[in-house]
Amino acid sequence: MTVTLTALPYNSDSLAPHISERTLDFHHGKHHQAYVDNLNKLIGGTALAGEPLENIIKKTAGKADKTGIFNNAAQVWNHTFYWQSMKPGGGGMPSGQAAAKIDTDLGGYDRFIREFKNAALTQFGSGWAWLVLKNGRLEIIKTPNADTPIAHGLQPLMTLDVWEHAYYLDYQNRRGDYLEAFIQHLVNWDFVNANLP
Ligand code: FE
């Protein structure tokens, strides 16, 4: 059994103009696919082959001799989670339990936006900004490179990929403009609510 590339949950042209079809085709079809292919090569014939992806991540996290496997496995997982964190016509104000918890745990929507933007903009180089659940409370964190909350016992609720490959074709170096489009037009609050216990 090998790890497979999960299909996008929408057509590759349906997040345009905020994320173009060209970006999604490269990002999903080339970058995400490459992590899947590299992972399968690295685990082929080892005890990790056939393990669920989350187990591979947890078993290789922090192991100096398993960095390659961890990086590729975590990137496969992170990207699948990122696709689900967006939807056509998303963004704007949260609803339901997500909205209520943003008020009680994070001090309201405006503060959430400030902190999420800060995490995404201050991640130096490649990485991810996340809304996670820690001990039942919402938190905003950033992770470098391939690192992922599930390696640290945190429950991810949504994520933004801030690797340059996520936005360079559409926004060049303007990470802030990509971030603004994500917040205003793409965040899938239904997915956040579905991830809350
Ligand atoms: Fe990416």
Query: Could you give all domains of the chain from N- to C-terminal order, each with its CATH number?
Result: 21-84 (1.10.287.990), 96-195 (3.55.40.20)
Cα–Cα distances in angstroms (integers) from residue 36 to residues 18, 41, 72, in the given order? 26, 9, 7
What spacing in Å lies between the alpha carbon of 163 and ligand 1's midpoint?
6
Kindly state the percentage of the chain with pLDDT values over 90: 99
What 3-state DSSP class applies to 156? strand
The pLDDT confidence band at residue 88, using thresholds 50, 70 and 90, is very high
- Cβ–Cβ contacts within 10 Å for residue 197, how many? 6
- Picking from 22, 129, 142, the residue whose alpha carbon sits closest to that of residue 85 is 129
CA of 104 to the centre of ligand 1 (A): 31
Distance between Cα 79 and ligand 1 center (Å): 6
Tell me: pLDDT of 10 over 80: yes
Q: Which DSSP letter does residue 137 get? A: E
Q: How far is the CA of 168 from the centre of ligand 1 (A)?
A: 11
Task: For the chain, give the percent of residues with pLDDT over 70.
Answer: 99
Distance from the alpha carbon of residue 132 to the mean position of ligand 1, in angstroms: 19
Q: CA–CA distance from 195 to each of 85, 156, 185 (Å)?
A: 10, 8, 20
Cα–ligand 1 centroid distance for 161 (angstroms): 6
Question: What is the average per-residue pLDDT within 20-34?
Answer: 98
Residue 1 has pLDDT above 80, yes or no: no
pLDDT digit string (tens) for 123-170? 999 999 999 999 999 999 999 999 999 999 999 999 999 999 999 999
What count of residues does the chain have? 197
pLDDT tens readout for residues 32-79:
999 999 999 999 999 999 999 999 999 999 999 999 999 999 999 999
Compute, in angstroms, the gap from residue 5 CA to the centroid of ligand 1: 13
Single-letter residue type at 135: N
Å from CA of 146 to ligand 1 middle: 9
Average of per-residue pLDDT values in the chain: 97
Instruction: Tell me the CA–centroid distance for residue 7 and ligand 1, in Å.
Output: 15
Sheet holding 155-161, edge to edge: 137-144, 127-134, 155-161
